[in-house]
Amino acid sequence: MIYILDNGDMFPKLLKTTLKWIDVKTKEIVDLEFEHEEDDVLILNGEPLTQDFHKGKLHEKLKNILCPIVIIVDDSELGWGPTNTELVNNRPVYIITPSISTDIPQYGIKQHENVFNYLLSHMVERNDIDVSTELFEQGKSFLRSKHFMSLNREKKPHRDYLYKFIKSNNLFPKFYYSYTKTTEPIYLDGDPSWGRFSILDPTQINYPKFFDSYFSVVALPNFTGSHDDFLDEKIWKPILSHQPFIVLGPKGFLKVLKEFGFQTFFDKIDETYDDIKDDKARWSKACMEVKRLSSKSLTELHTWYYSEETIAKLRHNVQNAKKLSWAQIDRLSSLLKDLSDD
């Protein structure tokens, strides 16, 4: 039997949603005091165990579990690090996370073979990608209204930098823009009364806005670079919406994207900012590309956006995201099958 304890706050149905994609029978439990056998499997939502993990008490918490354990972590900012396996009382504990590293040599060049990015699979399932493809194809006949899209929530230094840059260069008329967790919040497609995200579902893509702009300016959750970076909805939204992107994030982030099989837009965007070590210098270089592109007419951007080369890259990125989602679901399915068969 496969047991699940799905008691997280951020994604309270993390395990139920994930296992819906896999054809396995499970039984839900309410705590760790449950009857089980050594040949059973226990799947845990990692979020409620985070404090125990950081305090070194995880093994103590799990000491009475007799069967193999799979812990699924949905957010790298919880600090679990990359996917790994530990032993508790000589029984395996598989810790599956979305964490990546922008320091590629540290963790090797095959991170995509170990990562489980719940957000990716959830967004591929939650958003009708066929609709995105149809809007992309039909959009050739229509000029869009804005140069850029940029979605921001939590207040962070690189997001402050982007906000000040846009404001000082009078670029707001060329943006669909939000920055909701500031002293003077800017809302684009939600309302503060709708909860912590100010939109009803942060994993849903606002296709009307994305398909009325040409580029995404993505300010990632982290900008310093660590083994707890991950690809979150900020980057999945433009990729699944057929949008090119400029990224304010850690050094080497575009290289990591390429490692995962995605294509970037160096033929039209100066992406050398990705190699700059100093944070503010890197943000400045990226923002200067925003300013340069803002000087182009919408007609010029439209012509480039629907050029053969760009179309090929955008189509490739959507298909690659879907492929990565299917692959990670297959890996999890294989792991659970192997554990159940042992």
Contact 67, 43 (CB under 8 A): no
Is the pLDDT at 195 greater than 70? The verdict is no
Specify the pLDDT at position 334. Answer: 93
* Between 126 and 174, the higher pLDDT residue: 174
Is the pLDDT at 194 greater than 90? The verdict is no
257 occurs within a structural domain: yes
The verdict on 209 and 132 lying in the same domain is yes
Specify the pLDDT at position 106. Answer: 47
Specify the pLDDT at position 222. Answer: 82
The verdict on 93 and 131 lying in the same domain is no
Is the pLDDT at 59 greater than 70? The verdict is yes
Mean residue pLDDT of the chain comes to 90
Question: 112-121, 170-179, 233-242, 296-305: lowest mean pLDDT where?
Answer: 112-121
The verdict on 79 and 152 lying in the same domain is no
The verdict on 21 and 147 lying in the same domain is no
- CATH number, domain of 201, equals 3.40.50
Is the pLDDT at 141 greater than 80? The verdict is yes
Q: What percent of the chain has pLDDT over 70?
A: 92
58 occurs within a structural domain: yes
Total number of domains constituting the chain = 2
Question: 27-41, 51-65, 181-195: lowest mean pLDDT where?
Answer: 181-195
Residue where one domain finishes, among candidates 41, 75, 97: 97
108 occurs within a structural domain: no
Q: Which domain holds residue 211?
A: 127-323
Closest Cα partner for 274 from 240, 246, 232? 246
Question: 6-20, 37-51, 163-177, 202-216: lowest mean pLDDT where?
Answer: 6-20
The verdict on 230 and 304 lying in the same domain is yes
Question: 12-21, 63-72, 87-96: lowest mean pLDDT where?
Answer: 12-21
- Mean pLDDT confidence for 232-249: 96
Position 107 confidence tier, pLDDT thresholds 50, 70, 90:
very low
Specify the pLDDT at position 200. Answer: 63
- Mean pLDDT confidence for 41-59: 94
The verdict on 42 and 183 lying in the same domain is no
The verdict on 198 and 295 lying in the same domain is yes
Specify the pLDDT at position 76. Answer: 81
The verdict on 188 and 285 lying in the same domain is yes
| Residue range 84-99, pLDDT digits in tens | 899 888 889 999 999 8
Question: 80-84, 161-165, 312-316: lowest mean pLDDT where?
Answer: 80-84
Position 280 confidence tier, pLDDT thresholds 50, 70, 90:
very high
Two structure tokens written together for 283: 């943000």
Specify the pLDDT at position 105. Answer: 47
The verdict on 150 and 197 lying in the same domain is yes
The verdict on 25 and 74 lying in the same domain is yes
Is the pLDDT at 278 greater than 60? The verdict is yes
| Residue range 68-82, pLDDT digits in tens | 999 999 888 888 888
The verdict on 182 and 79 lying in the same domain is no
The verdict on 132 and 41 lying in the same domain is no
